[in-house]
Amino acid sequence: MSSGTEEHALTAGDYIVHHLTHLTSTGHKQASVIDWSVINIDTLFWSISMGALAVFLLARAARNATSGVPGRFQAAVEILVEMVESQSKSIVHGDRSFIAPVALTVFVWVLFMNAMDFLPVDFLPSIGAMLGLHYQRVVPTADLNGTLGMSIGVLLLCLYYNIKVKGVGGWVHELFTAPFGNHPLLYPVNFAMQLIEFTAKTVSHGMRLFGNMYAGELVFMLIALMGSTATVAGFFGHVVAGSIWAIFHILIVVLQAFIFMMLTLVYIGQAHEGH
Amino acid sequence: MNLNATLFAQLIVFFVLAWFTMKFVWPPIMKALDERAGKIADGLAAADRAKTDLVLAEKKAAEELRKARESAAEFRSGAEKQAAQLLEEARNEAAHIVAAARDAAETEAGVAAQRAREALRDQVAQLAVAGAEKILRKEIDAKAHAELLAQLKSEL
């Protein structure tokens, strides 16, 4: 697809493709599947905005936190913190002074990024178009770069805690002796399994969130296409289907954020357990 | 679904946000939660203590009341006994006084009667002598018969 501008009449396919095109640093759609010289400005902007909003709200609650009777906002944040704390306590056995905050950050941040899906699919892109930005995708978790970036962050934490808890020697020993056993013949198999395990964990961690949010976004676009036909049936179809999908999406948004947080804890927790 | 440098930027953002939360969000909230848990525990303990104290105080109050009642009864019976004793003593004293007064009156009356008798005797003797004198003017010498008169007087 060449750079579709708003001028010529859009087919349904053009509309979808246009909405699935990132605002890149080059200004064009990325040509190859992997191109490290390109940055998705829209993903980064919204992900940093949502992250900043998330930590700002949390920090505000933290700054005003009293041990006395809490307000509603403080109580809500406390419920969240207690939930994350109890989950992390039951999953990770060790020093959780960084891990629990990571889980909290991940949960709230991913929740906020996923929640961008609730905005009408054309709302922010239209505002962007007025400002001269012809492409924009507003859900950072519907960009594989965003989700894989986070899951690779979790992978790095896993490697760090593996070394911290078991020592370099202990971890290397584990890499070659687990899961099948301590025998020279099994070393290559074990190591291959470990590599696959780490890769699978990280890729599935990022892909799961990406897939859910990407599919959700796509369905919203298809529903918006119905409305864009400007017929009575299309209008009602849009309203009914849009409402149903948005309500269902509330579950997905929260559930995926929760799953992402839980997997973060589980993977880091595994780094603390010896095989 | 293209991969590009956004991935690394997102990776860095991930750690920055996590670090921020660890530094500025997590500790104050956990501190507040722990403090509140402590306060609630203290409050519950204080309530328990207050309940125990109340029971003890009630028991003590009942004990004091019982003691007060007992000592009041004791006082009352003591006072009654003392009053009875005082009454008894007063009665005895009064009886003494009455008896003494009666004795004194009797003695005085006896003495007065004796004196009157003696005076009467004197007068009778004088009357007798005077009568006798009148009858026996000439023959009887008063001086010579004084002894006889005195004897007569004692026989009266």
Alpha-carbon span B127 to B106, nearest angstrom: 31
Q: How many CB pairs under 8 A join A and B?
A: 150
Task: Answer whether residue B146 shows pLDDT above 80.
Answer: no
Distance from the Cα of B50 to chain A's closest Cα (Å) equals 22
Note the pLDDT of residue B92.
95
Contact between B130 and B154 under an 8 Å Cβ cutoff? The reply is no
Chain B residues touching residue A74 (CB < 8 angstroms):
32
Chain B residues touching residue A57 (CB < 8 angstroms):
none
- Tokens describing residue A71: 């307000």
Q: In terms of Cα–Cα distance, which of A218, A73, A94 is closest to A165?
A: A94
What does each C-alpha distance from B114 to A12, A99, B100, B122, B131 come to in angstroms?
Answer: 166, 134, 21, 12, 25
Is A208 in the active site?
yes
Alpha-carbon span A245 to B145, nearest angstrom: 174
What is the distance in angstroms between the CA of the first residue and the CA of the last residue of chain A?
50
Q: What would the pLDDT profile of B24-71 be if each residue is shown by its tens digit? A: 999 999 999 899 999 999 999 999 999 999 999 999 999 999 999 999
What does each C-alpha distance from A201 to A33, A152, B74, B101 come to in angstroms?
Answer: 22, 10, 90, 130
Centre a 10 Å sphere on the Cβ of residue A82 and count the other Cβ atoms it contains: 13
In the set A162, A208, A228, A243, the catalytic residue is A208
Is A96 in the active site?
no
Question: What pTM, to 2 d.p., does this model score?
Answer: 0.75
Average pLDDT over every residue of B106-120:
92
Residues 79-138 of B with CB under 8 A from A: none
Q: Is beta strand A34-35 parallel, antiparallel or unpaired with respect to B3-4?
A: parallel
- Select from A48, A68, A78 the Cβ nearest to the Cβ of B13: A48
Note the pLDDT of residue A6.
44
Alpha-carbon span B79 to B85, nearest angstrom: 10
Distance from the Cα of B21 to chain A's closest Cα (Å) equals 6
Q: What would the pLDDT profile of B67-90 be if each residue is shown by its tens digit? A: 999 999 999 999 999 999 999 999
A102, A108, A112: best to mutate for the B interface, most B CBs within 10 A:
A102
Note the pLDDT of residue A12.
83
Chain B residues touching residue A140 (CB < 8 angstroms):
10
Record: contact A36-B4, CB cut-off 8 A: yes
- Select from A33, A70, A106 the Cβ nearest to the Cβ of B3: A33
Is A162 in the active site?
no
Bond preceding residue A179 cis, omega within 30 of 0? yes
Contact between A136 and A49 under an 8 Å Cβ cutoff? The reply is no
Count of H helices and E strands in chain B?
3, 1
Task: Answer whether residue B1 shows pLDDT above 70.
Answer: no
Record: contact A153-B11, CB cut-off 8 A: yes
pLDDT along chain A (275 residues), means of 10: 47 85 84 87 93 94 87 91 94 92 95 93 88 88 93 95 92 89 89 94 95 93 85 88 93 95 95 80
